[in-house]
A = this chain, B = another copy of it.
Amino acid sequence: MDRDAILLTPGPLTTTLRTKLAMLKDWGSWDADFNAVTAQLRSRLLDVVHGRDTHVVVPLQGSGTFSVEAAVATVVPRNGHVLVPDNGAYCKRAARLTQMMGRKATVLPLAEERPIDVAAVEAALHSDASITHVVLVHCETGTGVENPLAAIAAVCERHGKGLIVDAMSSFGALPIDTRALRFDALVAASGKCLEGVPGMGFVLLRKAILDGCAGNSQSLAMDLHDQHVYMEKTGQWRFTPPTHVVAALAEATAQFVEEGGQPARLARYADNCRTLVGGMAALGFRPFLAPEVQAPIIVTFHAPAHAAYDFKRFYASAKARGFLLYPGKLTQLETFRVGCIGAIGRNEMQQAVHAVADTLREMGIASGAPAL
């Protein structure tokens, strides 16, 4: 039957009908009513990290990667030098966009199955005094590992280095408290743990560094300082905002608050993750990561060792049962991923595990156990 599939993907994800219904209205992007939507949304985003006194939030059109690029372009001076501790695909992407825009970037290669090694980052800062900023991916969606944000922030503060955090997959779910940790910029997007639809990102900027950001960006569209100054003055976005996406995110953040904010969202996702991992384990599947470093956002599973396994067939069969899985992103190992985020709960996760069980049966695979 024609029924929407559950998206077990790390964004876009399944949103509530209430969030989607907020898109059934055309807003004038110049109008005061829409400015009020933007203002309320910005204020709620700051509240998520208790940053109302110390930070501003600058929304930006485009996907999350646009906001990461904008954060680097805006915060890092042209002669800056960025250290990127690398334990996954999104770290590599951050390094690449930094180098492309002409900023110096040093990549610190680290094992992708473990959180970023804080001592290694500190050693790198010691060994090269020209480093001005660190870019940290909070939750590496490539594997699902949670990186030690607080510890890295403390190291950066101790060494007087700027910190840019890609919190794309963690914002709203994992705790981030600006009163307890210092960063210059923190980036997230609409279609992740806030459960909006994709189409915009946003960057939290520390007020103390704002003035120093003027003129850094070589991109007009991605100049967050300019976007901020204009928005403060007019209440409007500089260039046409994705009005329907903004309205959906405003509605989604209202539901976020109603649910109980970040602690409630984390509790639901953690329960989703436990339900998934437990159910999959009973089918023989093994997660790529050790449980203690697994963020409850997206789980990477080893592919089954069985000769009949083929991701395309596996995906198609699970999809026919109403669940969209996600391909792996590791280069060395065959894996697949399952998201725990979105407007879904224990019921959906249990049904997803049943769908995977039925899929294995259909494929003639007795166990999801990997080769190793």
Q: Tell me the A residues contacting B by CB distance below 8 Å.
A: 4-5, 7, 9, 11-15, 17, 20-21, 23-31, 61-66, 69, 93, 96-97, 100-102, 189, 191, 197-200, 217-223, 239-245, 248, 319, 324, 326-327
Contact = CB atoms under 8 A, between A and B. Distances in A.
Contacts of A14: 26
Given A31-B324, A101-B218, A245 B199 contact: yes
Contact of A199 (B4, B93, B102, B199): B199
A244 B243 contact: no
Given A26-B197, A244-B248, 7 more contacts: A4-B25, A20-B26, A20-B244, A31-B324, A97-B221, A100-B217, A100-B219
* 5 tightest Cβ-Cβ pairs between the two chains A and B: A199-B242, A62-B62, A97-B220, A61-B62, A28-B324
Among A15, A26, A29, A63: residue with most chain B CB under 10 A: A26
A198 B240 contact: yes
Among A63, A221, A324: residue with most chain B CB under 10 A: A221
Contacts of A100: 217-220, 223
27 contacts: A9-B30, A12-B29, A15-B26, A20-B23, A20-B24, A20-B26, A23-B23, A23-B24, A61-B63, A61-B66, A61-B199, A63-B239, A63-B242, A64-B239, A64-B240, A65-B220, A65-B240, A66-B66, A69-B219, A96-B220, A97-B219, A97-B221, A197-B244, A199-B245, A218-B218, A244-B244, A244-B248
A62 B241 CA distance: 8
B326 A102 contact: no
Contacts of A65: 220-221, 239-240
Contacts of A11: 240
A253 B281 CA distance: 46
Contacts of A324: 28, 30-31
A219 B29 contact: no
Contacts of A30: 9, 324, 326-327
B240 A63 contact: yes
A243 B198 CA distance: 7
Given A30-B327, A220-B65, A244 B241 contact: no
B198 A31 contact: no
Nearest to A23: B23
